Structure 1
Amino acid sequence: MLAFCAACAAVPATAQELALPSEARQLTNRVNPLDSYDLPIAVWDGSSVPSREVQGRVAKRTWRMSVGSKTTLQVFASLRDQIESQGYDVLLDCSAEACGGFDFRFATEVVPSPDMYVAIRDYRFLSAIRDDEVLSLLVSRNPPDAYVQIISVTPTTVSPLDVVQGTETVEASKPNFAASLETAGHVVLGDLEFETGEDALGTGPFLTLADLANWLKQDGGRRVALVGHTDNIGLLERNISLGQRRAEAVKVRLNKEFGVALDQLETAGAGYLAPIASNATSDGREINRRVEAVLLPIQ
């Protein structure tokens, strides 16, 4: 374990020093004065992601920006260059498949949707160290937008009371899961994965389901419709049925694993009638294979 000295002087979070494009909109800016983070230092090895536990002031920040036709690597490279120019030594620099694809993504800490989006086949990851500071960078795209996550850990000074109470400060407005659902009326459960033609839900953990379950269980009158969406491979009727089965799989998981009452959940299938990306590309089809939670009137 790489431990940071609690008596060290506080250092500004590295994420604040990186220059993002002016059109980047910050979604998350959450800082804990004393916490731990498992920093990935190697790719998925077949059973886990080798990591190093680091302790200190942990800052988790995400951004969304419109990038048009820019690739994930183009967005990633400019930030990587800044990190290297600041004297960081890169420990790990990999792309989706080389990192370990699905396995790496779900063994690595990621801010939950809708504040971070990761396309399993289109992301880049970097971890780096400079003296007793570390950071990780994760970039992915949901065309025409790119999402950026930076987690940084720096030496910190906290009072004993802060440690006992687990004080956490939010340094900027964070549109959380519940706020997004209540404001927009729907939210994509963005960390679920469905292959073409499949309705089986992976083992998880799926943080969006935990967030949705927590929100529903706070008030037994709250209800959502789980709507399954597909890519455009195959006939419409079959895709509507597939979307319905995917929504049912999510409903079962929410009920059995998270204890959400069945009368708070409805399901429907939309097939390929409401795409959020182009079905002309494999990345777009992957994005369209999704389940959304749609707000229903309170009973």
Structure 2
Amino acid sequence: MIFLRVGIFLAMATTAGAQVLDFPSNASLQQTDTRALDSYVMPMGIWDRGAMPTEVVEGQLTQQAWRIDAAGLTTLQLLRPLREQLRNAGYQIIFDCQTEACGGFDFRFAVDTLPPPEMQINIGDFRFLTARRDAENGPDYISLFVSRTAQAGFVQVTQVTAPGAGAPETAPLAMADAKVLQPQSGDQDDLAARLETVGHAVLDDLTFDTGSSELAAGDFASLRALADYLQADPGRAVALVGHTDAQGALETNIALSKRRAGSVLERLVADYGVNRRQLAAEGMGYLAPIASNLTEQGRETNRRVEAIITSTND
């Protein structure tokens, strides 16, 4: 995948040059806030028991909010290419978390963010990353706050550059030279990575109609990826958790969501050869939305089944 080089520059450790953080061509810069010398409270760990580990870092502070116009992207699909760019640029990832594993609501509101509508954060679906690199004038820090709505993805980049390292720049290329970032459902490595790092993953290519518990016919890449993951280690087990939109009564939706999860379980056993003992089916109804129930697109996103790791051999 080719990315449009329109991001902020990361100061090189030993030269006056720069390494650009690339965004896809369907990304647009919504807001930039730059201060020549300031301090920033950089998150360094999860919110736990009323507190969050932080480090006060000083230098040139730059914050940017980016919008990526592609409905259906997962937060991991948004984050992964940016995280790899940081690693390739010599940054060490020192903190990486997702939603509830970060500390959920409390973590989100403990982090300084640019205001909406330029930067929008769904408190039910976000990822955060902090990275550090030693530069000639001292350590550089960068954080990525990634979230999504039903219509688009959002990324806040916060960089604190050691004093004297030089100002960030921008270097746009022609739009024709780049491709857009689009959702990639069911990729085995992607699904396995989500299960291993955050413990759960949306099976985001499954299809259910409103009020129906039957999984649509067809072969689903996410189910093949999940089957391969489970069959690679018989000690692994997952709970399949169904979710609905907010139409109808809660009790009805909980029952419907559990039947949907059960339908997925039976498909995994019958068509993909998964051992039934590695699977369980549960339902949450509409209690854990990841999009707005005020739009049809949001309701469709909320009608989903997630896989949650419940045990391994480790």
Q: TM-score, normalised by structure 2?
A: 0.49
CA distance in 2, matches of 1:27, 1:98: 28
From 108, 133, 136, give the equivalent of 2:140.
Answer: 133
Kindly provide the CA deviation profile for residues 44-96 of structure 1, in whole angstroms up to 9, marking residues without a partner as x.
11212110000110000011011233211011111111011111111100111
**Partner Cα distance (2:79, 2:105) in 1:** 19
Q: Does the 8 Å CA contact 2:293/2:299 hold for their aligned counterparts?
A: no
1:25 counterpart = 2:57 = no
Query: CA separation in 2, counterparts of 1:281 and 1:144?
Result: 11
RMSD between aligned alpha carbons? Answer: 3.3
TM-score of the pair, normalised by structure 1? 0.51
Matches within 5 A, 1:1-299: 13=10, 17-131=20-134, 132-157=139-164, 232-233=246-247, 275=295, 277-282=297-302
Measured at CA, do residues 78 and 124 of structure 1 come closer, stay the same or move farther in structure 2, by a change above 3 Å? Answer: same
1-structure distance, mates of 2:47, 2:246: 32
Taking the aligned partners of 2:303 and 2:158, their CA distance within structure 1 comes to 25
Q: How far did 1:121 drift?
A: 1.5
Structure 1 residues 70 and 281: CA distance shift in structure 2, 3 A: closer
User: Is the contact between residue 91 and residue 133 of structure 2 (CA under 8 Å) also seen in structure 1?
Assistant: yes
Shift of 1:12: 5.3
Contact 1:72–1:140, Cα closer than 8 Å, also in 2: yes
Displacement of 1:16 after TM fit? 7.5
The amino acid of 1:113's aligned partner reads P
8 Å CA contact retained: 1:13, 1:59: no
% identity of equivalent residues: 38
Structure 2 gaps, min length 5:
1-7, 12-17, 171-244, 250-291, 305-314
In the alignment, structure 1 segments of 5+ residues that lack a partner are: 1-10, 159-168, 172-230, 236-271, 285-299
Q: Is the 8 A contact 2:19 2:89 kept in 1?
A: no
Q: 1:280 to 1:128 in 2, by over 3 A?
A: same
Matches of 1:24 and 1:273, distance apart in 2: 25
- Rounded to whole Å, the distance in 2 between the matches of 1:275 and 1:69 is 14
- Amino acid aligned to 1:38: V
Count of residues in correspondence between the two structures: 170
Query: Any conservation in 1 of the 2:94–2:131 contact (CA below 8 Å)?
Result: yes
Query: 1:279 is paired with a residue of what secondary structure?
Result: helix
Structure 2: distance between partners of 1:83 and 1:74: 15
Cα distance change of structure 1 residues 69 and 59 upon mapping to structure 2, 3 Å threshold:
same
**Amino acid aligned to 1:47:** G
1:89-141 superposed Cα distances (whole Å, 9 cap, x missing partner): 11100111110111100001111111111111211110010011001001111
Deviation string 1:202-254 (CA, Å, 9 cap, x unpaired) is xxxxxxxxxxxxxxxxxxxxxxxxxxxxx85459xxxxxxxxxxxxxxxxxxx
**In the TM superposition, what is the alpha-carbon distance from 1:13 to its structure 2 partner?**
4.5
